[in-house]
Amino acid sequence: MLSLALILAGLLSAAFPQEAELLFVGDAMAHGPQLRAAMQADGSYDFHPCFEMLKPQISGADYAVVNLETPVSGGRYSGYPQFNAPDSYVEALRDAGFDLFLTANNHMLDRGDHGLVKTVQLLDSLGISHIGTYTDADERRRRLPMIVNIKGFRVGLLNYTYGTNGIKPRGNVIVDYIDRPTIESDVKALRHAGAEIIIANMHWGEEYHLKPVASERSTADFLTSLGVDAIVGSHPHVVQPVETRRNPLTGTPVQIVYSLGNFISNQQDTNSRGGLMVKMKLKRKNGIATVSAPECHLIYCVHPSGAQRNYMVVPIDSVPPQWRQRAEAFRKAAPITEHKETE
């Protein structure tokens, strides 16, 4: 027989449905000009000004996710084509409010196995949650399945990349590549461990394409068939459409953001000067947890100009006057108005 406390808890849950807010941004890159702009007179680096204008929204979310598209391995710092950022870059992203760093992307082996290991060790030393790369198979087994309790929701997280620019692991390090048997096994492990929501963060597609390519759609089909609840993409460096599908087994919504575009970078093309800050709400009603349709906000990376020495990521409506024309061109090209629901 149910206790009075359990009955009351059920009634309260029905009357006041649970909610939690997730926030996602795209590629946090560290090009050479960004490193030079952040360098201080004493030789240290300060990236905190880059994220100040978005910090209230990032830190205000219940859980915020960023794609760390650079190793952080000490030694000589460098930008494209083989990245390596200072430790302070990660610290500034953490201080901006990000809770999870994605590391399965095409640049994570830019400094080889050593760079990957040093990045993982740094994230661990700073108490930062991360997913996508591991020092060895044992570490992957210890960390996965990854389930995070976000205001009472048990959320399972995944992260995979299409490749690592032709650089292969030479030793024991693990990069989670897009491999269907592995993904299927990981999803099953999450469900078995009690995940009620599963979010797959995918580094996929073709750079600078404003529409998802066939490989993205095919992989999205596969993930949907597995019962994943949300799919969030990065890598193309431009914004791509968002879409709502239906879980073929439960009928619950499957939210897809094909590409978030760039969070911060020195890329110059109109379409790669910004990206999306996406908010999704987790909701539970009558005991069933779902993910709401993405709430999409355009953000823009303002380059140093005049008295502004550093790069800054700002809401599209807060762009300084000298950048507004370029920002409006970026806004017009962004295909976020194409949100649709498919069966």
**How would DSSP label each residue in 276-335?**
EEEEEEEEEETTEEEEPPPEEEEEEEEPPBTTB-S-EEEEGGG--GGGHHHHHHHHHH--
pLDDT of residue 1: 44
DSSP string, 140-184: HHHH-SEEEEETTEEEEEEEEES--TT----SS-EE-B--HHHHH
Helix (H/G/I), strand (E/B), else coil: 64: strand
pLDDT of residue 228: 97
For residue 203 the two structure tokens come to 């580094």
Separation CA 238–CA 277 (nearest Å): 13
CA atoms lying within 13 Å on the CB side of residue 284: 19
For residue 271 the two structure tokens come to 């379409």
What does pTM read for this prediction? 0.93
Question: For residue 37, which phi and psi values (nearest 5 degrees)?
Answer: -70, -30
pLDDT of residue 280: 97
pLDDT of residue 6: 44
Separation CA 34–CA 39 (nearest Å): 9
Kindly state the helix (H) or strand (E) to which residue 199 belongs, with its residue range.
strand 197-203
Question: For residue 174, which phi and psi values (nearest 5 degrees)?
Answer: -120, 130
- What are the pLDDT tens digits along the chain (343 aa)? 445 544 544 544 544 558 999 999 999 999 999 999 999 999 999 999 999 999 999 999 999 999 999 999 999 999 999 999 999 999 999 999 999 999 999 999 999 999 999 999 999 999 999 999 999 999 999 999 999 999 999 999 999 999 999 999 999 999 999 999 999 999 999 999 999 999 999 999 999 999 999 999 999 999 999 999 999 999 999 999 999 999 888 889 999 999 999 999 999 999 999 999 999 999 998 889 999 999 999 999 999 987 788 999 999 999 999 999 999 999 998 877 555 555 5
**Residues in the chain, how many?**
343
Alpha-carbon torsion, ordered 24, 28, 34, 39, to 10 deg: 90
